[in-house]
Amino acid sequence: VVLVSATDDDINEFIRQFPLSAHHIHAISLKGCTLTDRGLEAILDHLQVLFELELTGCNEITEAGLWACLTPRIVSLTLTDCINIADEAVGAVAQLLPSLYEFSLQAYHVTDAALGYFSPKQSASLSVLRLHSCWEL
């Protein structure tokens, strides 16, 4: 499922209109959305079999929001052009997603310190790491 320019209200409407999606949607892409941390948390709580998440240009999502709502069942994560993503977001990913297989990151404010969050244990599961435009690495 791809949602473009979605707001928190759109997310709530999606959840209300498609209750069965909770057990059938395995991947979601949110592009250019103005949803907040609350909207992200709502959709991730609703989609109980979700294992692939893409956030592109979602500038209202914060590092605190990722800490609050990332769930261990996510094995593929793409964070692209979300202005509030920096080292702490990578920390959330490393700690909350122990089975992460694929991680694509394009973030201007991520430093070398962010990669230190990943443990040697994760090297067994993390097979694909893409870093784009991470100028401070």
Quick one: pLDDT at residue 136? 83
Mean pLDDT by 10 residues, the chain (137 residues): 98 97 97 98 97 97 94 97 93 93 92 87 86 86
Exposure on the CB side of residue 46, measured as CA atoms within 13 A: 20
Residue with tokens 């080292």: 87
Quick one: pLDDT at residue 69? 93
Identify the H or E element spanning 44: helix 37-46
E strand map for the chain: 2-4, 27-31, 52-56, 76-80, 102-106, 128-132
Taken in order of first residue, the domains within the chain and their CATH numbers are 2-132 (3.80.10.10)
Assess contact for 93 and 103: CB atoms under 8 A.
Answer: yes
Helix and strand counts by DSSP (H, E) for the chain: 5, 6
Quick one: pLDDT at residue 79? 96
Q: Is 38 exposed, middle or buried (0-12, 13-18, 19+ CB in 10 A)?
A: middle
